[in-house]
């Protein structure tokens, strides 16, 4: 069984406990306007175009319908195919670091659940070597696809962007009903979960919005913590290289004061806030 991944990020401290190796999987069913990895949206290979490297030879358009060809590296293909056995071996090379720091492996993306069967196989290999495994997902999948992978991993990092269905559809392209239902199902499994709350000024940063999301987190039970994530400005050059429009232009970054307010509300509700929310997120 082969998987399709973008990159492997070692020495990560923002994707679960300890020092971790994060696998960025290609593919995501959502189209979040604030996505920092737009090259991973969808389920096919993407090409970044670097105009400064182009010499205008015309080779890339000489064969319509073919993948871009360039001897000057003006096109950069995103993603590589890898077998479950090969990826497991690569990840186990850092096993000593995981053991020393209480870390492990995190499957992210995109959304690794797009390739649930593949990452289930990798998880089995990692668990045979007692490696802690986390899944970073937005949960927009049929439960029968999500459930086996959730059951196999140790921790779920779960993104809840807003409770407002209209707002969710506008900024992510999908309804949030299934996402919220799956969060409840994961909680019923007594699975350790960290809900990731992105704060985007002018979008989901009102008092009612923050309080509402945190009340939902509280309802998920004692195994659930929260991670407050501050919105950072997107890489406009990356969007341009994909011929995509950066729709969040003009949106300010989340200020410390807003994140502090969310942390205080969570603390007052008795919800544990994990890690330093000032850290950058991929």
Residues in Cβ contact with 140 at an 8 Å cutoff, skipping those fewer than 6 apart: 29, 30, 111, 174, 178, 179
Share of the chain above pLDDT 90, in %: 77
Query: Is pLDDT above 70 for 75?
Result: no
Structure confidence at residue 243 as a pLDDT band (50, 70, 90): confident
- Rounded to an integer, the average pLDDT of 50-68 is 67
For the segment 29-55, the average pLDDT, to the nearest whole number, is 80
Model confidence at 62: pLDDT above 80: no
User: Both tokens of residue 176?
Assistant: 């949030």
Whether the pLDDT of residue 129 is over 70: the answer is yes
Q: Please report the pLDDT score of residue 45 as a whole number.
A: 62
Lookup: tokens for 150: 């959730």
Answer whether residue 67 shows pLDDT above 70: no
Summarize pLDDT for 84-128 with one digit per residue, the tens: 999 999 999 999 999 999 999 999 999 999 999 999 999 999 999
Confidence (pLDDT) at 77: 67
pLDDT at residue 39, as a whole number: 86
Q: What is the pLDDT of residue 79?
A: 79
Confidence tier at 241 by pLDDT (50, 70, 90): confident
Q: Specify the pTM.
A: 0.88
Mean pLDDT calculated for residue range 27-49: 83
64 confidence band (pLDDT: 50, 70, 90): low
Q: Which H or E run includes 152?
A: helix 143-152
Which whole-number Å values give the CA distances from 239 to 9, 72, 88, 104, in the listed order? 21, 21, 31, 31
Q: Give the whole-angstrom CA distance, residue 111 versus residue 16.
A: 16
């Amino acid at each position: 069984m082969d998987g399709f991944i973008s990159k492997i990020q070692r020495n990560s401290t923002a994707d679960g406990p300890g020092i971790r190796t994060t696998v960025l999987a290609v593919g995501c069913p959502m189209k979040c306007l604030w996505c920092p990895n737009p090259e991973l949206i969808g389920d096919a290979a993407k090409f970044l175009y670097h105009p400064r490297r182009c010499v205008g030879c015309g080779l890339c358009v000489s064969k319509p319908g073919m993948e871009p060809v360039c001897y000057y590296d003006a096109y950069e293909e995103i993603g590589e195919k890898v077998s479950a056995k090969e990826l497991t071996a690569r990840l186990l090379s850092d096993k000593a670091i995981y053991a020393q720091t209480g870390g492990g492996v995190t499957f992210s993306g995109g959304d690794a659940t797009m390739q649930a069967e593949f990452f289930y196989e990798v998880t089995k290999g990692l668990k045979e070597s007692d490696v802690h495994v986390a899944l970073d997902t937005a949960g927009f999948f049929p439960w029968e696809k999500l459930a086996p992978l959730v059951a196999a991993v140790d921790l779920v990092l779960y993104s809840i962007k807003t409770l407002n269905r209209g707002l969710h559809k506008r900024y992510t392209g999908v309804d949030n009903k299934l996402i919220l239902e799956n969060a409840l199902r994961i909680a019923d499994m007594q699975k350790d979960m960290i809900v990731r709350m992105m704060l985007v000024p002018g979008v989901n940063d009102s008092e009612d919005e923050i309080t509402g999301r945190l009340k939902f987190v509280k309802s998920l039970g004692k195994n659930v913590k929260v991670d407050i994530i501050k919105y950072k400005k997107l890489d406009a050059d990356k969007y341009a290289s994909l011929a995509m429009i950066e729709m969040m232009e003009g949106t300010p970054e989340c200020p410390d004061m807003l994140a502090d307010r969310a942390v205080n509300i969570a603390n007052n509700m008795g919800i544990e806030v994990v890690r330093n929310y000032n850290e950058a997120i991929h």
